Amino acid sequence: MESLLAWGHFLAGITWIGILYYFNFIQVPFLKVVTPETKAEAFKHLVPNALWWFRWGALFTWVFGAALLMNQHRMGSAFLLQGPDAVIGMGAWLGTIMLLNVWGIIWPNQKKVLGLKEATPEEKAKAGRMALLASRTNTMLSIPMLFFMANSGHASGLF
């Protein structure tokens, strides 16, 4: 069971963080330089699909990680930053903050930007800025989060 939870956490995490990096290092710069028509096509077809994988990758990463910690009987000590589980706990807290950014800030604002939720042009511009800042924050938080995860012995069932 531990190996399945670890692999689920690992694969969902690759999906989530990979798309986070794609958004911040590839898509955002690309959309700044393309024609309005190309940008409209991307917002119609590419961006909603990428956001679907992004938000569900985030949720499944967290769920598999929490299930793994529960299976290892380390959930409480990890989130309370106790003893040797403090290292994985730091990664878990950063991942939790990032998950809340995805579902609580990025996705609600992206729905306005994409026209999935009614918004004035001014509201769309503000929403786009909020989503970008939350995404940039997650990019920066991903660095220490990955460090703590990699140095915790978290997914011992992988090796």
Can you give the pLDDT of all 159 residues of the chain as single tens digits? 899 999 999 999 999 999 999 999 999 999 999 999 998 999 899 999 999 999 999 999 999 999 999 999 999 999 999 999 999 999 999 999 999 999 999 999 999 999 999 999 999 999 999 999 999 999 999 999 999 988 887 655 443
Domain of 28 in residue numbering reads as 2-158
Question: What would you measure as the largest C-alpha separation in the chain, in angstroms?
Answer: 55
pLDDT of residue 154: 60
User: H helices within the chain, ranges in order?
Assistant: 2-22, 28-33, 36-41, 47-71, 75-79, 86-101, 107-113, 121-150
pLDDT of residue 151: 87
**How many folded domains does the chain comprise?**
1
Q: Do 150 and 122 contact (CB within 8 A), yes or no? A: no
pTM exceeds cut of 0.85? yes
